[in-house]
Amino acid sequence: MSWIPPPPNVTDYYNFLVQQIGVPVKDLPPLSEVVLNSTLGFVLDSEGRKIGNAGQDWVNNTLAVALAMVNSQLMAQAIMYNLAVYNYAADRLINFAQDQNGQTWFEKTRKDCQLNSQTVGVIASSFDQGTGQSILNPEQMRMFTVTNLQMLKTRPGQAYLGIAQSVGTLYGLS
């Protein structure tokens, strides 16, 4: 009998952020009793009531976006689906989350990954002692969206794209 992981949930996602991505606990909001209904993508409280706007709860918001965007064909392989969801959500979190008061992990990570700079492809070569570059757009990247190109800048984004490409070229369509 094989083990089947539970569907993506906010508790496992939070642990993924801390243990796999390396987000310091102090840079995340406290893990609350808010749970995510992964079937409908709504943020629910502990009694199952829909919460209208989760506000600055970046953890729940990015998980909800990932659940809506990750290709449902990956559900056939539950562990790969979970990894795709958590990596997609982590990429979005790195791109958009605000740091907690007195913390700078997200700001520093965005700077290190050069997330605020435009990239239209992969650097194929550089010249003029590093001041010039030529951009290569390999065949598999020609269908990338701006979001896909942005995902190439973070480790979880790259991991997500690798998993997503295993089901074909419609990376984000469900």
Q: What is the pTM of this model?
A: 0.77
Fill in the DSSP letter of residue 17: I
Element (H, E) at 64: helix 58-69
Q: Where are the domains of the chain?
A: 10-167
The pLDDT tens digits for 59-99 are 888 998 999 999 888 888 889 999 999 999 999 999 998 88
The answer to whether 69 and 85 are in contact (CB under 8 A) is no
Question: What Cα–Cα distance (Å) separates residue 25 from each residue in 30, 33, 64, 130, 131?
Answer: 8, 16, 20, 38, 39
The pLDDT tens digits for 30-44 are 776 445 444 445 556
Q: CB atoms < 10 A from the CB of 9, how many?
A: 16
Q: Which amino acid is at 31?
A: L
Element (H, E) at 146: helix 146-151
